[in-house]
């Protein structure tokens, strides 16, 4: 979760909410990330923008070393606490910006990054850094929000995401992701689109918004034309019950 300054402070403040988030700790998408990663006992693994460390925690038991990096000190503290609670002596935390990874060329076997790149001010730098630090035969697994191809849906979803979370910068379409990987020297080996559904109230409460702000944003969603709103928000008896969006999960190698 990377954007120096405001992002670090924002997510440090919300660290315990993310540590306790069921969708982050045990979502079906995490199982896909782990399967794509195919961890090996000899792997040197880096989890970029680790947040509360859920991806790092899932992979660390099966590799030689996991480094969980983030720019939010509060998130790193949560990741350390969870790792200590599970007795994971091979998991270390590191304060590091995704655009400037403090690792030698070709020094890592596995890089993961889950639901964070939409916060990065320089996505291209992160992807180039990922390619740089991967050893020959190494792989990266990246998951992030997938922007709809439909222009009206894309504009609506971006507005809601940005109002809910001011550190949200931009989600990419599938075509934009492919172009970004190619430009960074990364080749897609496998990919999957995962439909991620979570309870609306929990999703909003995790944002840290005041109740009045949540109510205002909910009114905006309910006032949106049904064809634009329906792909993302489930409404029952005039109340929003779930938020659903697509996540692109890819396994990459250096081209």
| Angle formed by the axes of helices 123-133 and 174-183, nearest 10° | 50
Residue 191: name the closest of 147, 119, 140, 129 by CA. Answer: 140
The pTM of the full predicted model, rounded to 2 decimals, is: 0.90
CATH number (domain holding residue 180): 3.40.50.150
For residue 53, is it within any domain? yes
Domain that holds residue 182: 6-147+167-197+245-254
Per-residue pLDDT for the chain (255 aa), expressed as one digit of tens each?
Answer: 344 447 666 555 554 555 555 666 568 999 999 999 999 999 999 999 999 999 999 999 999 999 999 999 998 999 999 999 999 999 999 999 999 999 999 999 999 999 999 999 999 999 999 999 999 999 999 999 999 999 999 999 999 999 999 999 999 999 999 999 999 999 999 999 999 999 999 999 888 889 999 999 999 999 999 999 999 999 999 999 999 999 999 999 998
For residue 12, is it within any domain? yes
Residue 175: name the closest of 161, 191, 159, 199 by CA. Answer: 191
For residue 228, is it within any domain? no
Query: How many domains is the chain built from?
Result: 1
For residue 237, is it within any domain? no
Contacts of 54 (CB under 8 A, 6+ apart): 24, 25, 30, 82, 114
For residue 215, is it within any domain? no
For residue 113, is it within any domain? yes
């Amino acid at each position: 979760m990377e954007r120096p300054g405001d992002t670090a402070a924002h997510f440090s403040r919300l660290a315990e909410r993310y540590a306790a988030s069921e969708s982050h700790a045990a979502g079906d998408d995490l199982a896909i990330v782990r399967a794509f990663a195919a961890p090996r006992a000899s792997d040197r693994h880096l989890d970029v923008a680790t947040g509360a460390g859920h991806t790092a925690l899932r992979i660390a038991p099966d590799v030689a070393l996991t480094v969980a990096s983030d720019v939010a000190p509060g998130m790193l503290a949560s990741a350390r606490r969870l790792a200590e609670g599970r007795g994971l002596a091979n998991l270390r935390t590191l304060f590091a910006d995704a655009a400037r990874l403090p690792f030698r060329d070709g020094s890592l076997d596995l890089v993961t990054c889950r639901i964070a790149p939409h916060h990065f001010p320089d996505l291209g730098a992160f992807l180039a850094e990922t390619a740089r630090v991967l050893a020959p035969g190494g792989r990266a697994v990246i998951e992030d929000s997938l922007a709809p191809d439909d222009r009206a849906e894309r504009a609506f979803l971006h507005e809601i995401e940005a109002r809910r979370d001011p550190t949200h910068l931009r989600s990419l379409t599938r075509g934009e992701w492919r172009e970004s990987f190619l430009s960074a020297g990364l080749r897609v080996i496998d990919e999957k689109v995962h439909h991620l559904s979570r309870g609306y109230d929990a999703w909003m409460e995790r944002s840290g918004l005041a109740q009045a702000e949540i109510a205002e944003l909910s009114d905006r969603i309910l006032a949106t034309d049904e064809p634009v709103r329906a792909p993302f928000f489930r409404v029952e008896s005039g109340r929003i019950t779930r938020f659903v969006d697509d996540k692109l999960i890819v396994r990459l190698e250096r081209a």
